[in-house]
Amino acid sequence: MRIPAHSVCTAIRDDIVTGVHPRGSRLTEELLARRYGVSRVPVREALRTLEAEGFVVTRRHAGACVAEPSGQEAADLLEVRLLLEPLAAARAAQRRSEAHLKVLRGLVRLGRERSRANRDEDLRSLDGWFHETLAQASGSPGLIALLTQLRHKIAWMYAVESPARPAESWAEHGAIVDAVARGDAERARALTARHAESVASAHKLRVPRAGGPVRISQHAVNTAGLRN
């Protein structure tokens, strides 16, 4: 496939997250350039960026390889998200635009509709869109970048089960939006922290099999440990 040179990093990252490039596999510039239909220069630049983000490591005698994060590294990411998402919500309450509010309210409305229809695939997409918009509403480029990177890495390391009570989850989203709309930063922070803790238990660690595909750990994330 041929993609624009500036999109090479995104394409490689997406293929890492979805398992096209398995953990520990080599990433050679020549093969990647051929796969994405670009020269080796944007591939080289993309690999540098992905190494800085933690998706790629450079190994002696092997060159660039897909990283193999440990379970502790994965748990650390959830803990960081538990800290950053409430901060983003608090800032959104102070900096959001009417356009942000319109999108957030629309997503909550759709989420509630899809919950009643039990459309889990739609709900996963809407949930990701909701949290991305909430981060954008914070008006903090550095925070937005960190949360975007966290979202990619958590999707790479974890499978997320659908909420047992999706309507309740979207009611929590709605309460967060109400707090943001009122400019109540502390309530937005507290509600988002509570929501993030409640959904953390739905994350199941992806554990690679030796020489085989990734399997899903049957053990839920220890959210009590993340809060302490």
Residue 224's Cβ-count burial label (10 Å; 0-12, 13-18, 19+) is exposed
Q: Cα angle at 187 between 75 and 88, to 5 degrees?
A: 50
Task: Report the sign of the C-alpha dihedral through residues 111, 112, 113, 117, in that order.
Answer: positive
Q: Report which of 152, 172, 176 is spatially closest to residue 100, judged by C-alpha positions.
A: 176
How sure is the predictor about 152, in pLDDT bands with cuts at 50, 70 and 90?
Answer: very high
Domain regions of the chain by residue span: 5-66, 71-227
Q: Say what the pTM is.
A: 0.81
- Specify which residues 223 forms β-bridges with: none
How far is the C-alpha of 198 from the C-alpha of 45, rounded, in Å?
A: 38
pLDDT in tens, 179-227: 999 999 999 999 999 999 988 888 888 876 544 445 444 444 444 444 4
pLDDT in tens, 21-77: 999 999 999 999 999 999 999 999 999 999 999 999 999 888 999 999 999 999 999
Measured between alpha carbons, how far is residue 79 from residues 59, 97, 136, 154, 226 in Å? 28, 28, 20, 11, 5
Domain spanning 71-227: CATH 3.20.20.100: no
Q: How far is CA 7 from the centre of its chain?
A: 18
Phi and psi of 161, rounded to 5°? -75, 150
How far is the C-alpha of 50 from the C-alpha of 33, rounded, in Å?
A: 15
Q: Report which of 134, 155, 135 is spatially closest to residue 145, judged by C-alpha positions.
A: 135
pLDDT in tens, 87-145: 999 999 999 999 999 999 999 999 999 988 877 778 888 999 999 999 999 999 999 99
153 has pLDDT over 80: yes
CATH of domain 5-66: 1.10.10.10
Quickly list H helices, 66-119: 71-95, 98-116
